[in-house]
Amino acid sequence: MARDVRRRAPARSRPAVQKAALAVAAGFVLIGVLGFVPGFTTHYGDLRFAGHHSEAKLIGLFQVSILHNLLHLLFGLAGLVLARRIGGARLFLAGGGAAYLGLWLYGFAIDREAQANFVPFNDADNWLHLFLGFGMLLLGLLLSNELGTGGRPDTPIDRP
């Protein structure tokens, strides 16, 4: 009996922007899952669906709630889908970075005891949002600048 031995084509190497988007997205999925794991989340019994009354903290630092963990999961899953294309990877990193800078401003401006702190945020979250915002924005804007977005190439003559 002859075996059908097929040569595998070498795996196409992904551009750096896609690799970065995949890594960041996987990190968000992991953080979202760990937010539901007692031990990684301290005061797990105080975990609430939403609001500043949730006293649960991821690794004892970052205030989390069920909604906060679900948002991390959804953001990470969206990033995994978007990272399949160069344009999507850039959108996830640059757009997500801009969104996290917005979250940093929001967390900086709100009263921590107000109803507006519904996700919830604490100082550690705010510093992390600032770091993530700038980091993701830089990755999305600076990596693989010579590559297109996956659409049709255009030339200057095609532009209005």
pTM of the model: 0.77
pLDDT value of position 23: 96
Decide if 160 is inside a domain: no
pLDDT value of position 49: 82
Highest mean pLDDT (candidates 49-58, 61-70, 73-82, 134-143): 73-82
Report the residue count for the chain.
Answer: 160
What is the domain count for the chain?
Answer: 1
Average pLDDT rounded to a whole number, residues 65-75: 91
47 has pLDDT over 70: yes
How far from 17 is each of 21, 34, 75, 138, CA to CA, in Å?
A: 6, 26, 17, 11
Decide if 150 is inside a domain: no
pLDDT value of position 147: 53
Decide if 11 is inside a domain: no
159 has pLDDT over 50: no
Q: Could you report the per-residue pLDDT of 88-105, keeping only the tens digit for each?
A: 999 999 999 999 999 899
Decide if 151 is inside a domain: no
Cα-atom radius of gyration of the chain, to the nearest Å?
20
- Provide the pLDDT confidence category of residue 130 given band limits of 50, 70 and 90: very high
Decide if 47 is inside a domain: yes
**What burial letters (b/e) apply to 127-136, b meaning 16+ CB within 10 Å?**
ebbbebbeeb
Q: Domain span at residue 78?
A: 16-142
pLDDT value of position 154: 46
Q: For residues 160 and 151, what is the distance between their CA atoms, to the nearest angstrom?
A: 18
Decide if 138 is inside a domain: yes
pLDDT value of position 91: 94
pLDDT value of position 115: 73
Decide if 152 is inside a domain: no
Percent of the chain with pLDDT over 70: 79
Decide if 102 is inside a domain: yes
